[in-house]
Amino acid sequence: MKKFFLAACVLLKAFILNAQDFKKYDRGNFIKGKDSISYRILFPENFNAAQKYPILFVLHGRGESGSDNEKQLTHGAKLFLKDEVRKNFPAIIVFPQCPLDSYWANVNITSNDSKRTFSFLEGGKPTKAMHALQGMVKDFLKKPFVNKEQVYVGGLSMGGMGTYELLRRQRKTFAAAFAICGGDNTNNIKKYKNVPLWIFHGGKDDVVDPAFSMAIAERLKLVGKEVKFTLYPNANHNSWDPAFAEPELLPWLFGHKKE
């Protein structure tokens, strides 16, 4: 009983510390016409609006969808709070939240015996969430403190799918991107083949088949400008854990500038 109590105290303390750290991410909303999307934003330490900073948009997975403007910080947000990261990569970090009634990517999903099947569409109109996300990105690019040569996007699971889609819908916007355990219709690749991309996936992923990432990586190696592919043989769907722990991820990402 005593051990259980101590473990519970440790978990509660960790939860409180995380909540306090996440308060550094300011709350925001983008509203224009029918478009509406909430986001959390982390500004660099000693932010100076007279300077220009890189900006990174991080897209969460389906499990973090909602309207609380908080759950989207579950995966990845801690990385950008680390002292060494804030010191070495002073950038604006934005975590938008997809509402429950929409999806980042234009994909048909069917469920059979608790297994989901993804059918990615070629082209097509953006979802409500993607349309709002595009408007939000364009709005940020109007800010005088955003360096338009260093605009990045990355995401996991549904957010990895959304990353590919955002790249093809705003192909001239991003300097580099990363996609974790996502997927796309390979016929869409031609629209973002010139954006440097780092793809991650778990070899044992039983939610989103790693074959999707493998196919995209192989096609990009033939026609793309720069693609890195990392497969974690023993990782399941949570390949974002080792991906966000990659020591070269941020140096690689922020090392690119739009030509």
The total of other beta-carbon atoms located within 10 Å of residue 50's CB is 6
From first to last of the 259 residues of the chain, give the pLDDT tens digit.
Answer: 544 444 444 444 444 445 558 999 999 999 999 999 999 999 999 999 999 999 999 999 999 999 999 999 999 999 999 999 999 999 999 999 999 999 999 999 998 877 889 999 999 999 999 999 999 999 999 999 999 999 999 999 999 999 999 999 998 999 999 999 999 999 999 999 999 999 999 999 999 999 999 999 999 999 988 999 999 999 999 999 999 999 999 999 999 999 7
**Domain annotation covers residue 2:** no
**Domain annotation covers residue 20:** no
Q: Could you write out the three-class secondary structure of the chain?
A: CHHHHHHHHHHHHHHHHHHHHHCCCEEEEEEECCEEEEEEEECCCCCCCCCCEEEEEEECCHHHCCCCCCHHHCCCCCHHHCHHHHHHCCCEEEEEECCCCCCCCCEEEEEECCEEEEEECCCCCCCHHHHHHHHHHHHHCCCCCEEEEEEEEEEECHHHHHHHHHHHHCCCCCCEEEEECCCCCHHHHHHCCCCCEEEEEECCCCCCCHHHHHHHHHHHHHHCCCEEEEEECCCCCCCHHHHHCCCCHHHHHHCCCCC
**Domain annotation covers residue 187:** yes
Cα diameter, the chain: 61
Which residue, 180, 162, 194, is CA-closest to 79? 180
- How do 26-32 and 35-42 pair as beta strands? antiparallel
**Domain annotation covers residue 152:** yes
**Domain annotation covers residue 15:** no
Domain count, the chain: 1
CATH number reported for the structural domain that contains residue 195 in this entry: 3.40.50.1820
**Domain annotation covers residue 61:** yes
Residue 10: the pLDDT is 42
Phi, psi (rounded to 5 degrees) for 143: -70, 135
The boundaries of the domain holding residue 188 are: 26-254
Residue 259: the pLDDT is 77
Q: What is the pLDDT of residues 16-75, one digit of tens each?
A: 445 558 999 999 999 999 999 999 999 999 999 999 999 999 999 999 999 999 999 999
**Domain annotation covers residue 141:** yes
**Domain annotation covers residue 166:** yes
205: left (phi over 0), alpha (psi -120 to 50) or beta: beta
Residue 194: the pLDDT is 95
- For the entire predicted model, the pTM comes to 0.92
Residue 20: the pLDDT is 56
C-alpha Rg value of the chain to the nearest Å: 18
